[in-house]
Structure 1
């Protein structure tokens, strides 16, 4: 192959390489506070896994980052975006839960800053490599160089003071069994992680159950806030995300119960049309299939236990 052919091939490859960049655009949502909003889609090679909301708060003692995104490259892009806004160092990275879209950008930040509930760290240690294999299959080259990096600092429910900002931390279980929720009391901003989805269907692979999640969602809704950043979907300043989730989860729970009592198979449940009132919830049909796989066997077992003995 001639030198000119090699040069031509290299030039032709440039657009593909250039396309593999996250163009993150932090939006200021409160004093000192920025949110990076992801797409309400599934993981794909087109979006690079940029389907998650991340955020950061600039305090006078350093930057607090909330979740690091789906890959090393995303984490690097987020860190670069922070540097354009402030020269304060990142001192605290709060990982809300162990799912890869929230924790696989950890490499881009100082290890001493990486913090999570101890149960979250244990789950990431248990599931991280399997998640990584799956992410490489789903988003391909976007994952290049990404390794699972565990948090080094333990968080506990209660107050956390960083410079001129006071945070309150809660530990819930509804989404994964270990779910961190953070209220910045200084600005009234509630970072709910994946305890709250808005205009995007919930994901349930590690959920202990819809009943647990709904009970905790009711507790979460009692926290006073001025603005709420969900794990997926746009920010809200009222209770609409809670109302949408409550309605959707109530419908899903009733569907599974009635279907199990009628003896329907999982395949039949998966084909259930999504009610029109949930048209604004992205990926509802796809997540119905997944949630049926994750949760429906429990409803079938409960229905069998209710059958009279012969």
Structure 2
């Protein structure tokens, strides 16, 4: 009797999650597809491939998406190249004939921003936080040259370092598409000027640089304490679905997953510093076995360990907060 009841409950649970799982499995990454997956009503994503940007994946390793309202569309992140921006616009056109009112770039990493030029070419304004735009301007000429070498001139044809049409400094609500959207800024976190985009109607969050799913978060531009505060702020939202910067769409539990990694990283590196480990040994000694299956463990995690070690060492020597990120 008890076994039968458990079987029934299991079946009901699977039935209730089946539509969500089907959408998640349908969002398979592809370097060439221009088809978007509807993750919630009127909210779509185009999923990037795992791994680093390469000729094989044409650099499409970051997620992008869009929100469709009764009066138009807002795009969230734009891809690694002009061609990716065009593919996103094509995906939007397959879903709706409503005008694209705006493209929001959530943070200054190459796989999210270079497609913006395709939007500007069609007269669609591009917005970024002021500090993210400043970081992009300071380094993305080098990013573009590296991508051209890695992906080839054809894949990057038409791609330029753009200037956003509009910048902003704080969180704000938007209703330009006849659907309330909240831009969330919690200060310097995963990067200076990193934002999240929240669709109030469905409870869907585009996490940008703040949230990756089963991929090692990159601390290079971060203020770790600010990142934790930002994650706490995201927990106050009524979330149903999260579209991360990298990885498959997922549940709000991903916020805890990201924070646990950051805490475990800090604790492990702090222990190595106390033990007197030299920097040269840190990437190997900072092994966190529970994260070995996450994308980019062998590259980003090792770099993260070195970055955090240097920040903690500097804080110990000079009595400074261990932020160490660009100002």
TM-score tier by shorter-chain length is 0.7 to 0.9
The correspondence for 1:60, drawn from 70, 87, 102, is 70
CA distance in 2, matches of 1:263, 1:133: 39
Q: Counterparts in 2 of 1:90-169, with a 5 A limit?
A: 90-110=100-120, 111-141=123-153, 142-155=155-168, 156-169=170-183
**1:70–1:100 contact (8 Å) kept in structure 2:** yes
Show structure 2 runs of 5+ residues with no match: 1-29, 320-327
Moved over 6 A (4+): none
Q: How far does the alpha carbon of each residue in 1:242-279 deviate from its partner, in whole angstroms, 9 at most, with x for none?
A: 22212211111012111112221222111136333224
- The offset of 1:21, in angstroms, is 6.2
**1:261–1:300 contact (8 Å) kept in structure 2:** no
- 1:222 aligned onto 2:236: yes
The structure where strand makes up a greater share of residues is 1
Q: Counterparts in 2 of 1:40-59, with a 5 A limit?
A: 40-59=50-69
RMSD after superposition:
2.0
- 1:275 aligned onto 2:285: no
The correspondence for 1:258, drawn from 271, 283, 299, is 271
- Aligned length, in residue pairs: 285
TM-score, normalised on structure 2?
A: 0.81
- C-alpha distance 44-293 of structure 1, shift in aligned 2 (>3 A): farther
TM-score, normalised on structure 1?
A: 0.86
CA distance in 2, matches of 1:163, 1:44: 35
- 1:80 aligned onto 2:100: no
CA distance in 2, matches of 1:266, 1:134: 27
Show structure 1 runs of 5+ residues with no match: 1-19
CA distance in 1, matches of 2:177, 2:86: 24
Q: Counterparts in 2 of 1:192-207, with a 5 A limit?
A: 192-207=207-222
**1:22–1:73 contact (8 Å) kept in structure 2:** no
**1:274–1:285 contact (8 Å) kept in structure 2:** no
